[in-house]
Protein backbone atom coordinates (compact mmCIF):
# COMPACT_ATOMS: atom_id res chain seq x y z
CA UNK A 1 0.00 0.00 0.00
CA UNK A 2 1.25 3.48 -0.80
CA UNK A 3 -0.26 6.65 0.56
CA UNK A 4 0.17 9.86 -1.39
CA UNK A 5 1.18 12.78 0.83
CA UNK A 6 -1.28 15.29 -0.62
CA UNK A 7 -4.48 16.02 1.33
CA UNK A 8 -7.03 14.55 1.31
CA UNK A 9 -5.25 11.20 1.31
CA UNK A 10 -5.35 8.75 -1.53
CA UNK A 11 -4.71 5.11 -0.65
CA UNK A 12 -3.44 3.13 -3.60
CA UNK A 13 -3.46 -0.67 -3.29
CA UNK A 14 -2.38 -3.47 -5.59
CA UNK A 15 -5.06 -5.78 -4.29
CA UNK A 16 -7.95 -5.43 -1.87
CA UNK A 17 -11.06 -7.38 -0.99
CA UNK A 18 -13.13 -4.36 -1.97
CA UNK A 19 -12.31 -0.67 -2.09
CA UNK A 20 -15.70 0.01 -0.46
CA UNK A 21 -14.83 -2.30 2.43
CA UNK A 22 -11.41 -0.71 2.88
CA UNK A 23 -12.96 2.77 2.68
CA UNK A 24 -15.42 1.80 5.42
CA UNK A 25 -12.58 0.49 7.58
CA UNK A 26 -10.62 3.70 7.06
CA UNK A 27 -13.70 5.85 7.65
CA UNK A 28 -14.36 4.05 10.92
CA UNK A 29 -10.78 4.95 11.94
CA UNK A 30 -11.46 8.60 11.18
CA UNK A 31 -10.29 9.04 7.57
CA UNK A 32 -11.25 12.55 6.46
CA UNK A 33 -13.80 13.68 3.92
CA UNK A 34 -12.40 13.32 0.42
CA UNK A 35 -10.23 10.28 1.15
CA UNK A 36 -9.90 8.08 -1.95
CA UNK A 37 -9.16 4.36 -1.99
CA UNK A 38 -8.11 2.64 -5.21
CA UNK A 39 -7.02 -0.91 -6.01
CA UNK A 40 -5.61 -2.48 -9.15
CA UNK A 41 -7.72 -5.57 -8.44
CA UNK A 42 -10.36 -6.68 -5.98
CA UNK A 43 -10.82 -10.19 -4.65
CA UNK A 44 -14.37 -9.57 -3.39
CA UNK A 45 -15.60 -6.61 -5.43
CA UNK A 46 -19.20 -5.82 -4.62
CA UNK A 47 -22.01 -4.81 -6.96
CA UNK A 48 -25.50 -3.62 -6.15
CA UNK A 49 -28.12 -5.97 -4.72
CA UNK A 50 -25.55 -8.34 -3.28
CA UNK A 51 -23.98 -9.14 -6.62
CA UNK A 52 -20.24 -9.44 -7.07
CA UNK A 53 -18.18 -7.12 -9.27
CA UNK A 54 -15.56 -9.02 -11.20
CA UNK A 55 -12.33 -7.05 -10.72
CA UNK A 56 -9.31 -8.43 -12.62
CA UNK A 57 -5.88 -6.74 -12.31
CA UNK A 58 -4.35 -4.30 -14.79
CA UNK A 59 -7.57 -3.53 -16.58
CA UNK A 60 -10.02 -1.23 -14.88
CA UNK A 61 -10.54 1.45 -12.29
CA UNK A 62 -11.89 0.46 -8.90
CA UNK A 63 -12.13 3.32 -6.47
CA UNK A 64 -14.09 4.50 -3.47
CA UNK A 65 -14.47 8.00 -2.15
CA UNK A 66 -15.27 8.77 1.49
CA UNK A 67 -17.56 11.73 2.07
CA UNK A 68 -18.78 13.15 5.35
CA UNK A 69 -21.83 15.22 4.47
CA UNK A 70 -23.69 17.30 7.00
CA UNK A 71 -27.12 16.73 5.48
CA UNK A 72 -29.81 14.29 6.69
CA UNK A 73 -29.50 10.57 5.88
CA UNK A 74 -32.64 10.76 3.71
CA UNK A 75 -30.67 12.79 1.18
CA UNK A 76 -27.80 10.34 0.85
CA UNK A 77 -29.43 8.25 -1.89
CA UNK A 78 -29.16 11.31 -4.16
CA UNK A 79 -25.37 11.07 -3.92
CA UNK A 80 -25.48 8.08 -6.22
CA UNK A 81 -27.07 10.21 -8.92
CA UNK A 82 -24.57 13.00 -8.25
CA UNK A 83 -21.79 10.44 -8.69
CA UNK A 84 -23.29 9.09 -11.92
CA UNK A 85 -23.54 12.60 -13.32
CA UNK A 86 -19.97 13.42 -12.30
CA UNK A 87 -18.53 10.17 -13.64
CA UNK A 88 -20.22 10.78 -16.96
CA UNK A 89 -18.69 14.24 -17.15
CA UNK A 90 -15.26 13.09 -16.04
CA UNK A 91 -15.19 10.28 -18.59
CA UNK A 92 -16.37 12.64 -21.32
CA UNK A 93 -13.69 15.20 -20.46
CA UNK A 94 -10.86 12.71 -20.48
CA UNK A 95 -11.88 10.46 -23.38
CA UNK A 96 -14.16 12.55 -25.58
CA UNK A 97 -16.76 9.79 -25.29
CA UNK A 98 -20.34 10.61 -24.38
CA UNK A 99 -21.59 8.02 -21.89
CA UNK A 100 -25.25 8.07 -20.94
CA UNK A 101 -26.90 7.20 -17.64
CA UNK A 102 -29.25 4.31 -17.11
CA UNK A 103 -31.19 5.53 -14.07
CA UNK A 104 -30.20 5.70 -11.36
CA UNK A 105 -26.49 5.09 -11.70
CA UNK A 106 -25.25 2.81 -14.46
CA UNK A 107 -23.12 4.48 -17.11
CA UNK A 108 -23.61 3.11 -20.61
CA UNK A 109 -22.08 3.56 -24.02
CA UNK A 110 -23.91 2.27 -27.09
CA UNK A 111 -26.34 0.45 -24.83
CA UNK A 112 -23.62 -1.36 -22.89
CA UNK A 113 -22.55 -0.84 -19.29
CA UNK A 114 -19.18 0.85 -18.80
CA UNK A 115 -19.39 1.80 -15.13
CA UNK A 116 -21.30 0.82 -11.99
CA UNK A 117 -21.62 2.67 -8.69
CA UNK A 118 -22.23 1.33 -5.20
CA UNK A 119 -22.98 3.80 -2.41
CA UNK A 120 -23.06 2.73 1.23
CA UNK A 121 -23.84 4.85 4.26
CA UNK A 122 -23.08 4.64 7.96
CA UNK A 123 -25.59 6.38 10.23
CA UNK A 124 -25.48 6.75 14.00
CA UNK A 125 -28.37 8.19 15.98
CA UNK A 126 -29.90 9.68 12.87
CA UNK A 127 -26.68 11.40 11.78
CA UNK A 128 -24.51 10.41 8.82
CA UNK A 129 -21.08 9.25 10.00
CA UNK A 130 -19.84 8.74 6.47
CA UNK A 131 -20.88 7.68 3.01
CA UNK A 132 -18.63 5.63 0.74
CA UNK A 133 -19.16 5.96 -2.99
CA UNK A 134 -17.50 3.19 -4.98
CA UNK A 135 -17.24 2.98 -8.74
CA UNK A 136 -15.91 0.41 -11.13
CA UNK A 137 -15.06 1.68 -14.60
CA UNK A 138 -14.32 -0.79 -17.42
CA UNK A 139 -11.22 0.65 -19.05
CA UNK A 140 -9.26 -2.05 -20.90
CA UNK A 141 -10.63 -4.44 -23.49
CA UNK A 142 -11.25 -7.74 -21.71
CA UNK A 143 -13.32 -10.86 -21.80
CA UNK A 144 -16.30 -10.13 -19.61
CA UNK A 145 -18.05 -12.95 -17.76
CA UNK A 146 -20.47 -14.77 -20.09
CA UNK A 147 -23.57 -13.21 -18.52
CA UNK A 148 -22.17 -9.70 -19.16
CA UNK A 149 -20.49 -10.25 -22.51
CA UNK A 150 -23.26 -8.72 -24.61
CA UNK A 151 -24.01 -5.84 -22.26
CA UNK A 152 -20.64 -4.56 -21.03
CA UNK A 153 -18.05 -2.47 -22.82
CA UNK A 154 -14.67 -0.94 -22.00
CA UNK A 155 -13.58 2.64 -22.62
CA UNK A 156 -10.59 1.51 -24.70
CA UNK A 157 -12.88 -0.44 -26.99
CA UNK A 158 -15.38 2.41 -27.19
CA UNK A 159 -12.83 5.07 -28.10
CA UNK A 160 -10.34 2.92 -30.01
CA UNK A 161 -7.40 4.20 -27.92
CA UNK A 162 -5.64 3.42 -24.66
CA UNK A 163 -7.18 5.47 -21.87
CA UNK A 164 -4.83 6.62 -19.08
CA UNK A 165 -6.34 5.27 -15.88
CA UNK A 166 -4.71 7.80 -13.52
CA UNK A 167 -5.72 10.80 -15.58
CA UNK A 168 -9.21 9.43 -15.91
CA UNK A 169 -9.52 8.98 -12.16
CA UNK A 170 -8.34 12.55 -11.59
CA UNK A 171 -10.88 13.86 -14.11
CA UNK A 172 -13.68 11.91 -12.46
CA UNK A 173 -12.73 13.08 -8.95
CA UNK A 174 -12.56 16.69 -10.09
CA UNK A 175 -16.00 16.44 -11.72
CA UNK A 176 -17.37 14.82 -8.56
CA UNK A 177 -15.99 17.61 -6.38
CA UNK A 178 -17.79 20.19 -8.51
CA UNK A 179 -21.10 18.34 -8.51
CA UNK A 180 -20.87 17.43 -4.82
CA UNK A 181 -20.24 21.02 -3.77
CA UNK A 182 -23.17 22.20 -5.85
CA UNK A 183 -25.38 19.46 -4.38
CA UNK A 184 -24.40 20.42 -0.81
CA UNK A 185 -24.96 24.11 -1.57
CA UNK A 186 -28.47 23.62 -2.97
CA UNK A 187 -29.51 20.52 -1.00
CA UNK A 188 -31.15 18.97 -4.03
CA UNK A 189 -30.48 17.77 -7.54
CA UNK A 190 -32.17 20.84 -9.03
CA UNK A 191 -28.98 22.33 -10.43
CA UNK A 192 -27.87 19.17 -12.24
CA UNK A 193 -31.33 17.83 -13.06
CA UNK A 194 -31.55 19.15 -16.63
CA UNK A 195 -28.06 17.95 -17.38
CA UNK A 196 -28.76 14.56 -15.78
CA UNK A 197 -31.98 14.24 -17.79
CA UNK A 198 -30.13 14.96 -21.03
CA UNK A 199 -27.80 12.07 -20.21
CA UNK A 200 -30.63 9.62 -19.45
CA UNK A 201 -30.49 6.88 -22.07
CA UNK A 202 -34.15 5.95 -21.66
CA UNK A 203 -35.59 9.41 -21.59
CA UNK A 204 -38.92 9.63 -23.44
CA UNK A 205 -38.73 5.95 -24.25
CA UNK A 206 -40.83 3.05 -23.03
CA UNK A 207 -39.36 1.30 -20.00
CA UNK A 208 -40.30 -1.68 -17.91
CA UNK A 209 -40.18 -1.10 -14.15
CA UNK A 210 -39.45 -4.30 -12.23
CA UNK A 211 -40.49 -4.06 -8.58
CA UNK A 212 -40.48 -6.85 -6.00
CA UNK A 213 -44.29 -6.92 -6.20
CA UNK A 214 -44.61 -6.95 -9.98
CA UNK A 215 -43.79 -4.98 -13.10
CA UNK A 216 -45.34 -2.28 -15.23
CA UNK A 217 -44.53 -0.21 -18.29
CA UNK A 218 -44.49 3.49 -18.97
CA UNK A 219 -42.52 6.28 -20.60
CA UNK A 220 -39.43 7.50 -18.76
CA UNK A 221 -39.77 11.29 -18.30
CA UNK A 222 -36.63 12.22 -16.37
CA UNK A 223 -35.95 12.66 -12.66
CA UNK A 224 -37.35 14.77 -9.85
CA UNK A 225 -35.26 17.18 -7.78
CA UNK A 226 -34.85 14.37 -5.26
CA UNK A 227 -33.79 11.71 -7.73
CA UNK A 228 -36.89 9.60 -8.34
CA UNK A 229 -37.55 8.57 -11.92
CA UNK A 230 -40.78 9.99 -13.36
CA UNK A 231 -42.58 7.34 -15.36
CA UNK A 232 -45.66 8.29 -17.36
CA UNK A 233 -48.28 5.54 -17.23
CA UNK A 234 -50.56 4.72 -20.18
CA UNK A 235 -53.36 6.80 -18.59
CA UNK A 236 -51.08 9.87 -18.43
CA UNK A 237 -50.46 9.81 -14.69
CA UNK A 238 -46.88 10.17 -13.49
CA UNK A 239 -45.61 7.47 -11.15
CA UNK A 240 -42.44 8.11 -9.16
CA UNK A 241 -39.94 5.27 -9.05
CA UNK A 242 -37.65 5.12 -6.03
CA UNK A 243 -34.23 3.53 -6.42
CA UNK A 244 -33.50 0.51 -4.30
CA UNK A 245 -34.96 -2.87 -5.06
CA UNK A 246 -36.29 -1.59 -8.36
CA UNK A 247 -34.85 -2.19 -11.79
CA UNK A 248 -35.77 -0.16 -14.85
CA UNK A 249 -35.12 -1.72 -18.22
CA UNK A 250 -35.75 -0.85 -21.80
CA UNK A 251 -38.53 -3.02 -23.09
CA UNK A 252 -36.09 -4.95 -25.28
CA UNK A 253 -33.40 -5.60 -22.68
CA UNK A 254 -30.81 -3.90 -20.49
CA UNK A 255 -31.23 -0.36 -21.86
Binding site for ligand BTN (CB under 6 A): 18-20, 42, 45-48, 51, 53, 62-64, 106, 116-118, 134-136
Least separation in angstroms between CB 4 and ligand BTN: 18
Least separation in angstroms between CB 155 and ligand BTN: 15
Nearer to ligand BTN by Cβ, of 170 and 204: the residue is 170
Least separation in angstroms between CB 23 and ligand BTN: 8
Nearer to ligand BTN by Cβ, of 20 and 218: the residue is 20
Element (H, E) at 133: strand 127-137
Least separation in angstroms between CB 177 and ligand BTN: 18
C-alpha span between 69 and 71 (Å, rounded): 6
Nearer to ligand BTN by Cβ, of 18 and 95: the residue is 18
Nearer to ligand BTN by Cβ, of 13 and 216: the residue is 13
CB-based closest residue to ligand BTN: 116
User: What are the backbone angles phi and psi of residue 223, rounded to the nearest 5°?
Assistant: -105, 165
Rounded to a whole number, what is the distance in angstroms from the first to the last CA of the chain? 38
Dihedral sign, CA of 179, 56, 132, 100?
A: positive
Of the CA atoms within 13 Å of residue 25, those in its CB half-sphere come to 9
Kind of pairing between the strands at 106-109 and 100-102: antiparallel
C-alpha span between 215 and 211 (Å, rounded): 6
C-alpha span between 15 and 206 (Å, rounded): 41
Nearer to ligand BTN by Cβ, of 145 and 187: the residue is 145
C-alpha span between 107 and 116 (Å, rounded): 7
Around Cβ 45, how many Cβ atoms within 10 Å? Answer: 25
Nearer to ligand BTN by Cβ, of 60 and 95: the residue is 60
Least separation in angstroms between CB 37 and ligand BTN: 8
Kind of pairing between the strands at 238-241 and 106-109: unpaired
Least separation in angstroms between CB 112 and ligand BTN: 13
Amino acid sequence: MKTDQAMPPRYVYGSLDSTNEEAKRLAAQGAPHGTVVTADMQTAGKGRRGRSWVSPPGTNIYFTLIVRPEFAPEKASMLTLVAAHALTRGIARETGLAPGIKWPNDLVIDGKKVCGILTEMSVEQGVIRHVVIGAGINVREQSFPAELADRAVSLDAACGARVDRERLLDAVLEAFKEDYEEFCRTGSLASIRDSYDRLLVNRDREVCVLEPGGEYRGISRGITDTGELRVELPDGRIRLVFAGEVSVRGIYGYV
